[in-house]
Structure 1
Amino acid sequence: MPETIPSGRRRRARTRALALLTAALAVFGGSLALAPAAHAATGVTVTAPGAVTAGDTVTVTVAAEAGADLFAYDLTLGYDPTLLAFAAGSETYPTGGYGAVTESSGTVTFTNTRLGTSPGLAGTHDLVTFSFTAVGSGSATISVDDGTFLDSASASQPLPEAVTTTVEIAAAPVTPSPTPAPGAPGAGAPAAGEGAADDAAASDPAGNSAGSLATTGGDVVMWIVVGAAGVGLLALGVVLMVRRRRAEVEA
């Protein structure tokens, strides 16, 4: 009967890949040169938009043919910090693992390892996707300069070769400030209605404003209406009186 390996022992065997990678990075400054593993990773690619405008987000993806058993890896990318700014927290990795980022001026390093019972990656995978912000204009080169790939047995393989991509960043368009048209408010000419209001104020010796004149006109109209109502009542009284006298005569 085959021996059953406890799950705790399997976890320790898998997670030692991360411990080995971390220790080796500390000793060799981020570059490992151990015996190559034939099935860790080959054919690394880096992709990004070909053209953007300053201020845009630049999404970058590093992918690789993972072979049959890619359990941990680290990737160091270079970029021009005068043209690109790394967006911290934008990175995503394959599910089932743990990732970490180390950033310095002009470089950013991504480290990832599988955890627990997660199997090593097999086939083509996006190893990391992250974002820059375009902060200048020009040709921005993004390069995968260094990398290390480990299988679940901790055998290591270095990056086969450096790969690059270039993003053309156009300057952000400048929006000119609007120029006021001649005669428009703010161009030295009085706003519409200002001259008329001044003339009305000057022609009123009592100093009444246009609003006061409008109120006065309303008062006149009101008195005209009241007067018309009084005349109508008076005429109605005369008509009633004439009808009453006529009725008395006929009686």
Structure 2
Amino acid sequence: MVKYIAAVIGFAYKGFFGAVTGYIIGSIIDTFFDTEGKKNPLTSVFGGSQQVSPGDFELNLLSLASLVIKADGSVSQTELDYVRGYFVQAYGKERANATFKTFNEVIKNREISAQRICHYLNQRTRYPVRLQIIHFLFGIAQADGTVSNAEVNELSSIAGFFRVNRPDFESIKAMFVKNSESAYKILEISSTATEAEVKQAYRTMAKKYHPDKLQNMDEAYRKGAEEKFKNVQDAYESIRKSRGFK
């Protein structure tokens, strides 16, 4: 609506070019303030028409976190504390509290669709950010000391909706679910890989998980990227030492 008013005002003052300029400025205002009554991103994901003040990204992220927390049929306080600590670190206490309050009032009792949320975020985030979200969600699952099969299944579904490559998912999973093959899985290679293949895999994964990929994100995300990067380094060192090459 604003764009049409602005176009008329612009025409009155500057003729045709004023009308064009007014229309463009008005369109920006319409988009920013949602003056035409269009659904905001949260409405399209969760349904309803509730307006929210916290960022859509935080609320969508918290919704995915809630799916992981509830995946094994119980709600762990340590997992809840992990999520709250992460949000406070990433967004500050005031914004984190606003996010949790809005989630509890607006979203908590509604059906949360991981598929819809991921579809929304896929259009607005780069692949390294989605990898970091999976890493964060695995951190939640591990917060109580163990990652259950139900949590892995939920995380696998979310990764699929995020279009995360299976080797990348298995790499991040191996950072939290340890076994004799974990170091190789983190580097996305098999235990039969040659020395040259191990070194090449290390260079590739170090580049993929380098913290600079998330340099424009909040501190919590950069910290998560540093953790992934360190896991890659540790995996390589473990293989290098066990095989005895330099």
TM-score by length of 2: 0.26
Q: Which has the higher strand share?
A: 1
Larger RCO (CA within 8 A; separation ≥ 6): 1
TM-score with structure 1 setting the length: 0.25
Of Structure 1 and Structure 2, which has the larger fraction of its residues in helix?
2
